[in-house]
Amino acid sequence: MKTLRKKPKRSLRTILIVWFVLFSVIPLAFVTVYSMIKYEKAIDYELSQRLTGNAREIDVALADLRIGLQQKRDKYVRDPSLLYHMAIGDGSTIRSLTSQWVKSDNVSSLTFFDREGRMLASVFKDDKEAVRSFVPVQDAVFLSAKYMAEMKGQKEVALAEFTETQKVNLILISRVTAGGGRLIGYVEQIVDLNKAFVGKLKNRLKLELIVFKEGGQVVVASHPDFYLYKKDFFASNFRNGAERFFDLNVRTTPYGFLIYPIDWGLTKFYVALGASKSEAKAVLKNVNYAFITVVGAVIVLLIITILVTSNWVLKPLYDLVEALQSFESQEQAVTIPVKNDTEIGLLTESFNEMSKKIWQARSDLRKKITELQDANKELKDTQTKLVHSAKMVSLGQLVAGVAHELNNPIGFIYSNMTHLKDYSEKLIALSEAAEKEPQRLPALKEEYEFDYIVKDLPKLVASCQDGARRTRDIVLGLRNFSRLEEAKLQEIDVQQSLDTTLDLLQGEIKNRLEIHRQYEPTPLIHCYASQINQVFMNILSNAAQAIDGPGHIWISTTPLKDYKGSKDRRGWVQVSIQDSGKGISSETLEKIFDPFFTTKGVGQGTGLGLSISYGIIQNHGGEIQVRSEVGVGTEFIVIIPVYPPIQDKDQPLIK
């Protein structure tokens, strides 16, 4: 084999360097690009510094707002009439007394609670700035136990709540004490950070503003276009290490935005301030045009030079490209003649040698492909067997989960049978005594506790009926899952379903857990009752099992008219189930709805309960959410439409 030359006789590199140095393309291009980048960065830096100063103004304004709330609170609690009526729980008088304060003070809402956290009265401004009030009459409304616990060691707690109506509620909750530091209740002050508030800041600072949650979701903004972006559009700017300054076009106008964090007590949110870059862009555009014009002139001269020398320099390269393009269609090695002594000639010789080696490698590759095809067929056969094995394992886990759910109501019925048998034997004995020895009947009634049997027997029968009905519903749900028969929509009361489920869980709850019910009047929902009951059973059972020893479970129901912007007049129903258990870590929280995922030990859980519950709620057109904090507890929120999303409410849901 002929030895290839290592160095060319003439250097093409030297020729090209002479031309480029002659026209100064490299220095000029470098200076052009560098200057453009640096100038644009300088503009962004100056704008970022300006926006940072404006953001501090907003931070100071919110701090002054909180100080103002504190001062007004101190004025309220110095009123002896208010303290007296709070102490005696007179909500009507408190409402009359504080209505004028809401009119004159810069607050959106004033709410007063007694020392147990029970709402006495709430006075607030509606969307039209009209002052309205609310005094609980039948159903009690309580201040969150979490916030009451926060205030045990301090005078007040501040937090912010984000609503679906494009505003942020800035909340200040304070303890109200009488002489000697005796606690008599709490007062909650709310100021709305809404479109009007943001609009005033926009007019004062001459900027566009956006208020974000911690995850990057837009809450309220100064321009209507910001509400049109997707929910996660700004999420990348809130990741750790992300740039807090970004560019965004508003109606074709370029803006520079700076994200600034705001702390309001327990809650953190963000404000993005944006200033127009139109003038700076115009100046930058003119500078870029000047640089590009100079570089363009140099490039034109270079092109002319290249055209003159193309026959000498580029012709061999064209031959090489043509040979490469025809390489795939040839059944043998492709070679081209060497026509000069520059690097191009050396490249041509290297190509000829490479062509021969590739042709030889191609022959070897065909043999390897045949071997790989045989191995691939064997691999597919093995894969088919593995898939079948995995399906059998999944089926076994599903059957185990169904058997576990059937065991609970059956065991409940079985535990009652002993008492039913005892009661029936005593009743038979009393019946025989009444027939044969009537004089002994009063004594036997007292001995057998006849009055207690009469009172307890219907309860036992009703409990057995509930257990049998639950067993029937589980079997019916399994039939629905396998499409053996179609279930029917029913009209149910969510609160009654929750109470029935709690009755079935009395074995886990009794003497250990305290249940707190906060039921607001809700409409009846049309659903598959057994499936919805199964969801409540799974969540409540998990809540009970998550609490080691004594604890609390809070259950609340709320009607929703406008959920996620939906104007459906029929509405939604929200059910919140919160426990005081050990909580769930963020890593586990991401996987709790995955099939067969469980944190319980082997043989204690199948990992199907929450996965099935998630599917049931989705099939009903609803949503299930979960929030948790390790050491505090977990809250499941189930949102169900009054009517499922179907064409005809008498037809079954689409599976």
At residue 625, the 3 state secondary structure works out as strand
Residues 639-655, mean pLDDT to the nearest whole number: 62
Neighbouring-strand partners of residue 342: none
What is the spatial distance between Cα 347 and Cα 201, in angstroms, rounded to a whole number? 68
The angle that helices 278-325 and 25-77 make with each other, rounded to 10 degrees, is: 130
pLDDT of 235 over the 90 cut: no
Q: Token pair for residue 342? A: 């520059």
- Predicted local confidence at residue 387, as pLDDT: 39
Residues 342-354, mean pLDDT to the nearest whole number: 74
pLDDT of 404 over the 80 cut: no
Give 460's pLDDT tier (boundaries 50, 70, 90). Answer: confident
Residues 287-302, mean pLDDT to the nearest whole number: 74
Going by C-alpha positions, the residue among 5, 21, 17, 19 that lies closest to residue 340 is 5
What is the spatial distance between Cα 158 and Cα 116, in angstroms, rounded to a whole number? 19
Give 580's pLDDT tier (boundaries 50, 70, 90). Answer: very high
What is residue 3's DSSP assignment?
Answer: P
pLDDT of 315 over the 70 cut: no
The pLDDT tens digits for 248-265 are 988 888 999 999 999 998
What is the spatial distance between Cα 77 and Cα 87, in angstroms, rounded to a whole number? 12
More confident residue, 26 or 199: 199
What is the spatial distance between Cα 466 and Cα 532, in angstroms, rounded to a whole number? 16
More confident residue, 17 or 209: 209
Give 20's pLDDT tier (boundaries 50, 70, 90). Answer: low
The pLDDT tens digits for 570-579 are 789 999 999 9
- Predicted local confidence at residue 153, as pLDDT: 78
572-579, strands of its sheet edge to edge: 513-519, 551-560, 572-579, 633-641, 623-629
- pTM of this structure: 0.44
What is the spatial distance between Cα 589 and Cα 624, in angstroms, rounded to a whole number? 13
Q: Find all residues with CB under 8 Å of 596, minimum gap 6, and list them.
A: 394, 397, 606, 607, 608, 611
pLDDT of 6 over the 50 cut: no
Scored b (16 or more CB within 10 A) or e, 631-651 reads: ebbbbbbbbbbbbbeeeeeee
- Predicted local confidence at residue 525, as pLDDT: 92
End-to-end Cα, the chain, rounded Å: 72
What is the spatial distance between Cα 248 and Cα 253, in angstroms, rounded to a whole number? 8
Residues 8/343, Cβ–Cβ less than 8 Å? yes
Residues 351/336, Cβ–Cβ less than 8 Å? yes
Highest mean pLDDT pick, 91-105, 236-250, 257-271: 257-271
The pLDDT tens digits for 534-560 are 889 889 888 888 888 899 999 999 998
What is the spatial distance between Cα 574 and Cα 563, in angstroms, rounded to a whole number? 10
Residues 5/346, Cβ–Cβ less than 8 Å? yes
Q: Token pair for residue 224? A: 């209507």
Q: Find all residues with CB under 8 Å of 379, minimum gap 6, and list them.
A: none
At residue 344, the 3 state secondary structure works out as helix
At residue 598, the 3 state secondary structure works out as coil
For the four alpha carbons of 411, 412, 415 and 417, in that order, the dihedral sign comes to negative
Neighbouring-strand partners of residue 576: 556, 637
Going by C-alpha positions, the residue among 543, 529, 416 that lies closest to residue 474 is 529
What is the spatial distance between Cα 609 and Cα 636, in angstroms, rounded to a whole number? 14
What is the spatial distance between Cα 653 and Cα 655, in angstroms, rounded to a whole number? 6
At residue 7, the 3 state secondary structure works out as coil
Q: Which domains does the chain have, with CATH numbers?
A: 486-641 (3.30.565.10)
What is residue 142's DSSP assignment?
Answer: B
Q: Token pair for residue 52? A: 């940072």
For 451-507, give the DSSP string.
Answer: HHHHHHHHHHHHHHHHHHHHHHHHHHHHHHHHTSS----EEE-HHHHHHHHHHHTHH
For the four alpha carbons of 197, 201, 203 and 206, in that order, the dihedral sign comes to negative
Q: Find all residues with CB under 8 Å of 627, minimum gap 6, and list them.
A: 634, 635, 637
- In the chain, pLDDT over 90 holds for what percent of residues? 17
What is the spatial distance between Cα 593 and Cα 595, in angstroms, rounded to a whole number? 6
The pLDDT tens digits for 30-51 are 777 777 777 778 888 888 888 8
